[in-house]
Structure 1
Amino acid sequence: MLGSDIVIREALREDVVAIAAILAGDTVGGHGDTTDPAALPGYLAAFDRISSSSNETLYVAEQGGEVVATCQTLVTTTLSGRGGSSMIVETVFTRPDCRGQGIGAKMIRHCIEKAKAQGMRAVQLTSNAARKDAHRFYERLGFAQSHLGFKLKLK
């Protein structure tokens, strides 16, 4: 069965190099991620901020002892919806050579189960408008496009 030997777990600091390599393999997002060792301190500082937050969790999918995918969650509470909390799923990436094995779906389902267990009212995510395959993937998992997103880049 595809993806059956996948373990989803919280990321460890020693996973950061593998996570950065997965992010650097993205040819669509244009985030400037790199495997250049000079960038490692920035990735480690970001990991430390994420891991010290009570509202954020960075996950990895591991297969055969190797990190093959990653995603991050953020819990946000708003006054709208009577003070309800939602889980935002971000930075969902699977190593290109591991796609099509059900790893991403397993990660998203893991996040959904975590959100249900925490009593969240919704799980939401955004996806780059150019990622048509990703949009179909999320729709297959039950997500519906409901909002139009905007971004103001500051750096």
Structure 2
Amino acid sequence: MKPSSLLAPVLALAPGAAMAGSISIDLPRLPVAEYHRPYVAIWIEGAGIQPRTVAIWYDADHRGDPGTKWLSDLRGWWRVAGRNIGTPPAGISGATRAPGHHTIPLPADLKPGAYTLKVEAARETGGRELVSVPFTMAKTGGKSAGTGEIGAVAVTLP
């Protein structure tokens, strides 16, 4: 992977960067005895582009190790982008998130065209789910919903 492609997500999230839209994700609180926050991978696929990781939420300090050992549990993301990314770079990685509504910016440098937003969640002693949201840049957003580990997912364009 080129160093410039690693900086693109960071630059897209920089203050003052043009806002291309947003991604909203609901993580439901599941009624289980032992709840662990899910690892979540968010990436974009489209014709003519390499899969692009927008965000990866994981336990970066899991009992003294870097927490990356369990990233391969996000199987869909791992197959298309994760195994090639090494340690997720600053700007796209972050801690696991609590149940609730989360909004992150859509990368500002996406060209007009058809894309698919993928959101995958995997939880220790829990389930795994992958939600796909097709959207077209410069035309329409999109939305979908999971049935377990992921709630509503939407792409909103300005």
TM-score by length of 1: 0.29
Higher strand content, 1 or 2:
2
| Higher RCO structure (Cα 8 Å, ≥6 apart) | 2
TM-score of the superposed pair, with normalisation by structure 2:
0.29
Higher helix share: 1
